[in-house]
Structure 1
Amino acid sequence: MTRFTTAATAGHVFFELAAGVGMPLASVLGPFTAATAWAAGTWTAWCAAATRPARDDPVFAVLDSISFAAVIGHLAGWPKRRTRLGTPWLTDCEGPGPRLMPYYNPILYISGTAAAAAVLLENRSVPRRLPLLSLPLVPLLVVAQRAEHRRLKAIAEAHPAWWNRRLLATARSGTERRGWHPD
């Protein structure tokens, strides 16, 4: 499950890049360096998760729980509606726009479900409360997501490029609902 979490989280991050809204850390490191760091981190975690000894369980428990906290942060911190099942369905999140949100939501739910399963089913040598320590990260991750989004929009306005094209279009058209983002 940790490998699946790693792959699903990478899918989420690289979907954002392909969608033209950037990716985490792109506003700080630049898109190439951020993508390289994410790819290297994903590959490292993927390989290590396949052959890890039990002594590495705490590292993977933290990795899985942070991935889960990031998904909770998305669902808690961005505009949403409720589905018929009562689950949150994001209507906007970091700029993909209404056309891509039907794809973004399942990607988010897949990565969150994988992370939750990894937290619950793997890393058995770790105290069960260790993953709970990541829950206080949720509000911090919401703040970080919003700050990254603001920086990426500013970069898109100043330096339009392929990797931030959707943010530029959103910023110029004014289609974002400002009331949803208490920046």
Structure 2
Amino acid sequence: MGDIYSVLRQLAGALAQLQSLGIIHTDLKPGNIMLVNDSKPLTVKIIDFGLACFESRVKVGSNAGTRWFKAPELLLGLPFTGAIDVWALGCVAVKMFTGYHLYPGRSIYQMLKFISETQGPFPDHMLDFGKKKKTVFHQRELLDTQDKYHGETGGTQSNRFKSQDDLRQVRDQYSILRPG
């Protein structure tokens, strides 16, 4: 566990440095983290800046990133900021701790559904203006928006992650979760 925390601290520091320079990596994933020193403490570097961009030159609708580490903004083709790298870091952290993807799925739609079920409904503007809306919703299925969810239930979703136990329950609930 100590090694994982050390690696995550280094990655968070590297992302903070990138953000201070106005750079978004856009494809943070385990395959783009290089171990440069395997003696204690471990030393890592972020590699593969082929999809990186300056925050001032973000290309809306970009196909950047690897599916299981993409923030909802990328999945939907919305404008994005450096926050997508922080999202990816969270997904990397879960993968490192559990061996499983935080938001699995065989399609972008399934991933968005998992995210919506665990983090709450997406704001209406995200679903209304996503450039990839037709691709994502080709099955004519819709994710509940916040307005629709609150209107039908009169409340908020309570199935958000609050602890690692919540992550384990989701992992055990969905049979498509597999290490690797």
TM-score w.r.t. length of structure 2 = 0.27
Higher helix share: 1
Bigger relative contact order (CA 8 A; separation at least 6):
1
